Amino acid sequence: MQTKIKHDFLQSEKGQLADKILRSCVHCGFCTATCPTYQILGDELDGPRGRIYLIKQMLEGHTVTKETLNHLDRCLTCRACETTCPSGVEYGHLLEIGRSEVEKRVKRSLLQKVLRKTLLLILPFPKRFAVLLQTGQLFRPVLPGILKKQIPAKTRLTKLSLKNHKTKMLILDGCAQPALAPEINHATRKVLDALDIELVSFSGCCGAINQHLSDEEKALVIIKNNIDRLIAEFDNDIEGIVMTASGCGAMFKEYPHLLRNDEHYKNKAEIIANKTFDLTEIINTEKLKNKLNVNKNLNIAVHTPCTLQHAQKLPLNIENILSSCGYQLSTIKDKHLCCGSAGTYSITQPELSAQLREQRLSGLMVGQPDMIATANIGCLHHMNAGSTVPVRHWVEIVAENLKP
Amino acid sequence: MRYHCRMTRATKDNRKSLRKQLHQVLPKTCILETPEQTIPYESDGLTAYQQKPWMVVLPESIEQVQTIIRLCHKEGVPVVARGAGTGLSGGALPLANGLLLSLAKFNRILDINPANRSATVEPGVRNLAISEAVEKFNLYYAPDPSSQIACTIGGNVAENAGGVHCLKYGLTVHNILQLKIITIDGELITIGSQALDTPGYDLLALMTGSEGMLGIIVEVIVKLLPRPEQAQVILAAFDDVVKAGEAVGAIIAEGIIPAGLEMMDNPAICAAEDYAHAGYPVDAEAILLCELDGTNEEVTEQIQFVENLLTQKGATSLRTSQNTAERLKLWLGRKSAFPAVGRISPDYYCMDGTIPRHQLPFILQKISDLSKEYNLLVANVFHAGDGNLHPLILYDANIEGELERTEEFGGKILELCVKAGGTITGEHGVGKEKIDQMCVQFKSLELQIFHDIKHSFDPQELLNPGKAVPTLHRCAELGGMHVHDGLLPHPELERF
Amino acid sequence: METMNRTRELQDHVRAAFNDKTALKIVGGNTKHFYGNKSNAKKTNVIETRIHQGIISYEPSELVITARAGTPLKEIEALLAENNQMLPFDPPHFGEHATLGGAIATGLSGSRRPFTGSARDFVLGSKIISGKGDVMSFGGQVMKNVAGYDVSRLMVGALGTLGLLLEISIKVLPKPNTEATQVIAMSQQDALITMHKLNQTSLPLSALTYENEKLYVRLSGALSAVTSAQKKVGGETLLHAEKLWQEINEQTFSFFTESNNKPLWRLSVPYIANIDLNENSLIDWAGALYWIHSDKKAEEIQQHAIEQGGSAMLFRTHQVKAEKNAQDCFMPLPAKIKQLHVNLKMRFDPRGILNYGRLYSDL
Ligand SMILES: Cc1cc2nc3c(=O)[nH]c(=O)nc-3n(C[C@H](O)[C@H](O)[C@H](O)COP(=O)(O)OP(=O)(O)OC[C@H]3O[C@@H](n4cnc5c(N)ncnc54)[C@H](O)[C@@H]3O)c2cc1C
Ligand code: SF4
Ligand code: SF4
């Protein structure tokens, strides 16, 4: 596509990257077909091709207002459009530039500012998040009451007696997950123990929240801190870091891109990304199969999180593991669709988010499953609030079926 | 026989008044009017043309469309309909003084009637969404443009879209039963019926391919076909494009009508493979994809026959799909080939000439010669079985003058197609893009009758004016500029 | 190939008629004279297209034939048969001298229609003389062509009221390797259910026709496909089936000849229509076409067809001409649609000289 990016911006590294991405878009419109927001709203401006155009306009020096801001805000960053795009347009990277540029040009309303600031102050910090959950107040208007259901879960967890193994990996404890669903990492430890892998806790936030809310600076601080600590850990015979939330995994894998201009961190980020694995990537299904008493009566619908299928490009991993272990998978519709959770989206865009959830759930329910399996805490939580069947992390299901 | 273009009759006051009335009948979110909002609508799938619309409206109900059209009619403001905006001829290119009417919100499938083998859908329903929705009845909607993931059925009807499977199963015109149309005076009429024949003139055929110039399509009843028991694709590689072209003719000459018969040349193969990972041989000069379908016995027999034939015709390697997943993967590469070319070039210009099949080798050679002459690369991806060419001329719009050279090259290809006994457009439509080539394809008498047909439906020329049919005036001017073989194309016209 | 190009002569004829406002009755082989309304023009000249005949081009590997309108259908079909090809829409001849022009102007298609397509589906291009005497070409000889409005298909079934057909290009298809017809004895109700079921399968069907307690299922395609389909369909294999299909298509079949002097109605309806006029009928097109002998009132028959989502036309009548003239053979059109018809007629034939009244009394 033809571009006429403003000269001074074009001189910057970001300008070059944006220009390259914009020019690789041929305006075919294929991506609109799989964009969840376009499918609901039917406005070019709420689809990837239109958003690309909005960003192009802005970088070409046209007037921008809240309109552009709103349409970019409404993007879920699910990156379904990237999976669909035959031309290889790196939409996610373009959007990142677009979002940071629009923040510079358009003022947000006070209310929005407060909301976003609050989120930034709380979500990335595991302790603060946990405290808030217990008081259970701040998000009452936007987060449904299932939160209360989740908290006692901690007490239910049985003490594990795990063996020591030669293969050691880190496991990210993340920000929201330990408080919301400690049972996920608990189950992971059990399952990996059965596969002779020992896990060592690594706590912290991946930086995605700040990144999504266009607080790049803070994000980089968090990321660099993670990198330094990880590099130190990797010295001690650790093979890599396992992610049980695909959102965090996707973020870790983005580190090299985010630090591409940082001479000091560039290579380190590359090392981290190469040693970051989604849980599905390290499961040896042959071995696992023999350790399971699979509940064959269970009909499971798999919701592969966007961060797993579109960002990490691992669209079939969950299905492959479950079906090779002998689980019965139910048919689903529109596999590519986002559930509407999308990081902080359920809080910043509550209406659309609820609509998307409904749509996603109805696609997952076509085969009348007993349960929905997924791989990201955000999706799990968000869908649980609207689902008639339980939504669980796939590893929990597997862990329950481990032979004693 | 002078023909006056009446495109700009509406005054500023008319638009002002229209704007006011539209705000009364449509919710705020359904009206886009600032440049920030309207510029992203300035192009369809053909980015070489851009025009910011005066206003974009996104109605949600038939009544709203009726009201909008009535108001436009009253105020004399022109309207351009838009589906998914994947058109490749600038058919949905907006007008600076006109309304762009998007039908994207009409995306519901209203009824599926398996026993009648039909489905009733709104115009903004995506082509592929129909086949997906009726899959549970073991039925499908046959025309499958490569853009089927995104393009709408309304746009398909307006362009008479074709696709990979049209060789055997026909174009859009063969696969629809009934349309509901809003005429320029805002009346809702039904054309065609649920039955196979409808009394009177075949207005259904007239509407199909009319590029939004005769009415706004607000509902479509499509025909559905039973899914064949078996379907397999042969992927045949060739070390020479011309040989592949000859093999196409040979298959048809044997009395076999494949479900699809497509060809790609090396640049297209490489680009598509890079995206789809379908296992295309990236060192081949050309590949043919030949799908055969029918009963199990029939397909087994024919696959063997065609495999032998292709080997005889010089195929260097053959691969036949063994299951549905593999077959779909092979098609995914083909269907994504245009945009995948975006991986090797920032822009492409897609031509759509159709020629008698036996001219394939000749035309391919000519295109390759012209490519050298213009110093512009070409990737060929096309519906070989139908003789429908899609040479993609690769260019870079950021380099000054390259688009102009590309257009000239494209024009040459189309004229070649007409000379070879073919046509300037097989399925993408004339739109804004091929309007000048219409003067090469038709004489003024035919062009006049096209205008007459337009006037029978839309006497004030408010629906998508300036598209599809050139004014005689324009042809005369062009004729004055290009003298072909020493002959003016329209000696009967006065020159201006 | 014998050729007789009489374009000039025909054009002069139309021009003269245009100048002195004489109505023209276009006649080919005169085999379908009964179809449509009788002209109600006072002064009518006959213009014969049979003088304008000959196959212009035929390239079997291109699957296209182009011929002048006056070319006998027989001649075309014979040539195609030599190359193992056919006109895919089974046009009825209704007589020795049927011409291609007549087949296209009436737009009638045979029993293969739901499975292969209709006359209009296979028309690729045409050359016509308009009511002003202008010669114009539309479409072409290639499979796909969207340049300009589809005037060629508009001509199909227009009964010559928009233009005199000069040349037509038609897509042809290879003849199926094998054809077989299964006949199954069953009631009309069961037959309809069976037809709907079969129509939703991917069996190589080429006709589903019911008459007098018998369902006829024709299968066409590769030998292996037809053989296996025969087993799935069941019933008995009919010997000399070709004769049956020929008779049905040409209306020499007993159902058509034993009419008891009742008019013959043709009802085009959705596959799933429930037609119940309490009359003897022959059902074709997998349930989408009913032939009915009935002397019920036109309004009653048409109303029933409309209720079922289709239409009814008076195909043949044995009564005196005057009575047939009394009303249109074709079902009345909604006002706005009629207006569009009139507008188009005005543009193609401003003085209303071409077959005026044949389709509708005011067209
Ligand atoms: C990558 C790519 C591949 C393609 N491959 C094919 C192919 O294989 N075969 C093929 O035939 N085409 C192909 N196309 C072209 C295009 O997809 C088709 O022409 C399609 O039918 C356009 O549909 P749309 O919904 O995008 O319509 P638009 O582009 O929005 O509009 C097309 C035309 O239809 C009119 N229109 C749209 N909706 C309505 C309505 N409701 N009522 C009246 N008029 C309306 C518009 O005014 C315009 O003139 C391809 C395009 C792309 C980008
Ligand atoms: S699919 Fe890719 S190339 Fe096509 S419009 Fe979307 S981003 Fe652009
Ligand atoms: S990231 Fe998701 S929501 Fe955003 S444009 Fe792409 S597909 Fe749409």
Q: For every one of its 363 residues, what pLDDT tens digit does chain C have, with 9 covering 90 and above?
A: 446 899 999 999 999 999 999 999 999 999 999 999 987 777 889 999 999 999 999 999 999 999 999 999 999 999 999 999 999 999 999 999 999 999 999 999 999 999 999 999 999 999 999 999 999 999 999 999 999 999 999 999 999 999 999 999 999 999 999 999 999 999 999 999 999 999 999 999 999 999 999 999 999 999 999 999 999 999 999 999 999 999 999 999 999 998 888 999 999 999 999 999 988 899 999 999 999 999 999 999 999 999 999 999 999 987 654 454 557 899 999 999 999 999 999 999 999 999 999 999 989
Instruction: List all residues 6 or more positions away from B386 whose beta carbon is below 8 Å from its beta carbon.
Output: B162, B166, B167, B354, B426, C142, C143, C144
Share of chain A above pLDDT 70, in %: 92
Look at residues B67, B288, B257, B254 and name the one whose alpha carbon lies nearest to residue B169.
B257
Asked whether the beta carbons of C55 and C65 are under 8 A apart, the reply is: yes
The rounded distance, in Å, linking the Cα atoms of C187 and B97 is 64
pLDDT 10s digits, B361-400: 899 999 999 999 999 999 999 999 999 999 999 999 999 9
pLDDT at B488 over 60: no
Residues C146 and C273 in one domain: no
Nearest beta carbon to residue B86 from set A28, A87, A333: A28
Distance CA B251, CA B257 (A): 8
Quote the CA–CA distance of A2 and A22 in Å, as a whole number: 8
Whether C331 is in a domain gets the answer no
CA distance B329 to B322: 11
- Cβ atoms within 10 A of the Cβ of C182, count? 20
How much is the CA Rg of chain B, to the nearest whole Å? 23
Position C90 scores a pLDDT of 96
Q: Do residue C79 and residue C165 come from a single domain?
A: yes
User: Are the beta carbons of C99 and C76 closer than 8 angstroms?
Assistant: no
Looking at residue B443, what is its pLDDT? 92
Q: Report the CATH architecture of B230-340.
A: 2-Layer Sandwich (3.30)
Which residue's CA is the closest to the ligand 3 atom numbered 8?
A: A35
Distances (CA, A) of A316 to A36, A321, B274, B407: 20, 9, 20, 43
* Radius of gyration from C-alpha coordinates of chain A: 21
- The average pLDDT across A349-355 equals 92
Among A64, A96, A77, A52, smallest CA distance to A216 is for A96
Residue C328 lies in a domain: no
Q: Kindly report, residue by residue over A85-104, the tens digit of the pLDDT.
A: 999 999 999 999 999 999 99
| Whole-number Cα distances in Å, B416 to A15, B394, C21, C103 | 42, 19, 43, 34
- Residue C157: inside a domain, yes or no? yes
User: Would an 8 Å CB–CB cutoff place B1 in contact with chain C?
Assistant: no
Is B493's pLDDT higher than 50?
no
| Residue in B with minimal Cα distance to C331 | B199
- Section B273-285 average pLDDT: 96
B390 reaches C (C-beta below 8 A): no
According to DSSP, the residues that pair with B318 across neighbouring strands are: B236
Give residue B10's pLDDT band: very low, low, confident or very high (50, 70, 90): confident
Kindly state whether B304 is in contact with chain C, defined as any CB-CB distance less than 8 angstroms.
Answer: no
SS3 state of residue C150 = coil
Nearest CB among B37, B126, B336 relative to A67 is that of B37
The Cα A165–Cα A192 span in angstroms is 10
pLDDT value at B2 more than 60: no
- Burial class of residue A380 in the structure, from the number of CB atoms within 10 Å of its CB (0-12 exposed, 13-18 middle, 19+ buried): buried
- Predicted confidence at residue B494, as pLDDT, reads 40
Residue A142 has a pLDDT of 47
The Cβ of residue C210 has, within 10 Å, a number of other Cβ atoms equal to: 25
CB of B63 closer than 8 Å to CB of B452: no
Q: Indicate the fold that domain B345-495 takes in CATH.
A: Alpha-Beta Plaits (3.30.70)
Tens-digit pLDDT profile for residues B199-217: 999 999 999 999 999 999 9
Of the candidates B144, B65, B47, which has an alpha carbon nearest to the alpha carbon of residue B105? B65
Residues 6+ apart with CB under 8 A from B16: none
Are residue C105 and residue C197 in the same domain, yes or no? no
In which residue are the tokens 């640049």 written?
B267
pTM tops 0.90: yes
Q: Which ligand is nearest to the CA of A27?
A: 2
Residue type, B199: P
Tell which of C63, C113, C146 to mutate to test the B interface (max B CBs under 10 Å): C146
Residue B422's closest CA among B489, B349, B361, B363? B363
**Model ipTM value:** 0.96
Residue B55 confidence (pLDDT) above 90: yes
What is the pLDDT averaged over residues B471-482? 78
Give B187: exposed, middle or buried? Use CB within 10 Å, 0-12, 13-18, 19+: middle
Residues C6 and C145 in one domain: yes
Q: Say whether both C130 and C206 belong to one domain.
A: no
Rounded to whole angstroms, the Cα distance separating B314 from B243 reads: 7
pLDDT at B479: 74
Residue with tokens 């849980």: A279
- Asked whether residue C23 falls in the same domain as residue C155, the answer is yes
Say if residues A212 and A119 touch (Cβ distance below 8 Å): no
**Span B444-459, mean pLDDT?**
97
Q: Does domain B109-226 have CATH number 3.30.1240.10?
A: no
**Does some domain include residue C360?**
no
* Mean pLDDT (chain A, rounded): 89
Residue C261 burial (CB count, 10 A): 9
Assigned token pair, B459? 């006497």
Rounded CA separation C314/C300 (Å): 12
User: What is the distance between the terminal CA atoms of chain C, rounded to a whole angstrom?
Assistant: 37
DSSP, res C241:
H
Q: How far is CA B443 from CA B414, C136, C270, C279, in A?
A: 16, 8, 40, 52
Ligand 1 atom closest to the CA of B212, numbered from 1: 44
Whether C184 and C110 share a structural domain: no
Q: What are the phi and psi torsion angles at C180 (to 5°)? A: -145, 150
Pairing of strands A238-243, A167-172: parallel
What beta strand segments (E) does C162-213 contain? 164-171, 173-174, 178-185, 205-211
**Predicted pLDDT of residue A13:** 94
Query: Is C327 domain-assigned?
Result: no
Interface of B with A (CB under 8 A): 29, 32, 34-37, 39-41, 43, 45, 47, 58, 84-86, 102, 104-105, 107, 124, 126, 128, 132, 147, 149-151, 272, 274-276, 336-343, 346-348, 397-398
Judge whether C329 lies within some domain: no
Do C and B touch (≥3 CB pairs < 8 Å)?
yes
Rounded to 10 degrees, the C-alpha dihedral C326/C330/C335/C336 comes to -150
Contacts (Cβ under 8 Å, ≥6 apart) of A351:
none
Same domain, C170 and C185: no
CA distance C106 to B368: 46
Q: Does CATH number 3.30.43.10 belong to domain B12-102?
A: yes
pLDDT value of position B486: 40
Contact at 8 Å (CB) between B278 and B390?
no
Write the burial class of residue B14 (CB in 10 Å: 0-12 exposed, 13-18 middle, 19+ buried): middle
Residues C188, C149 within the same domain: no
**Cα dist. B123→A208, B134, B294, B413, C18 in Å?**
40, 17, 31, 33, 42
Q: In 3-state terms, what secondary structure has residue B14?
A: helix
Contacts of B313 (CB under 8 A, 6+ apart): B243, B246, B247, B250
Mean pLDDT of A240-251: 94
In order, the DSSP letters of A141-180 are TTS-THHHHHTTHHHHPPPP-----SEEEEEE--SSHHHH
The per-residue pLDDT for B487 is 45
Chain A, residues 189-218, CB within 8 A of chain B, namely none
pLDDT by residue (tens digit) across A8-22? 999 999 999 999 999
Q: What is the mean pLDDT of chain B?
A: 93
Neighbours of chain C (3+ CB pairs under 8 A): B
pLDDT digits (tens, 9 = 90+) for A129-154: 666 655 544 444 444 444 444 333 44
Q: Tokens in use for B144? A: 């499958």
What is the pLDDT at residue B446?
A: 96
Instruction: Pick A158 or B259 by higher pLDDT.
Output: B259
Structural domains counted in chain C: 2
Q: Rounded to whole angstroms, how far apart are CA atoms B259 and B165?
A: 5
Sequence spans of domains, chain B = 12-102, 109-226, 230-340, 345-495
- Determine the length of chain C: 363
Note the pLDDT of residue C317.
87
Same domain? For C304 and C188 the reply is yes
CA gap A40, A30 in Å, rounded: 16
Q: Which residues of B touch C285 (CB under 8 A)?
A: 196
C354 belongs to a structural domain: no
> Are C10 and C151 within one domain?
yes
Asked if B379 and B343 touch (Cβ cutoff 8 Å), the reply is no
Q: What is the DSSP-derived secondary structure letter of residue B179?
A: E
**SS3 (DSSP) at A83:** helix
Three-state SS for A263-312 is HHHHHHHHHHHHCEEEHHHCCCHHHHHCCECCCCCCEEEECCCHHHHHHC
Position C81 in a domain: yes
Q: Which domain holds residue C207?
A: 177-318
Residue of B39, B45, B336 lying closest to A86 (CB–CB): B336
Q: How far apart are alpha carbons C153 and B453 in whole angstroms?
A: 14
Burial B98-132 (b: 16+ CB within 10 A, else e): bbbbbbbbbbebeebbbebbbbbbbbbbbbbbbbe
- Same domain membership, residue C190 and residue C310: yes
Ligand in nearest proximity to the CA of B43: 1
B461: CA distance to ligand 3 center in Å? 38
Same fold, B230-340 and B345-495: yes
CA distance B70 to B182: 10
State in Å: Cα B341 to ligand 2 middle. Answer: 11
Predicted local distance difference test score (pLDDT) of residue B495: 35
Structural domains of chain A, with CATH: 7-105 (1.10.1060.10), 285-400 (3.40.50)
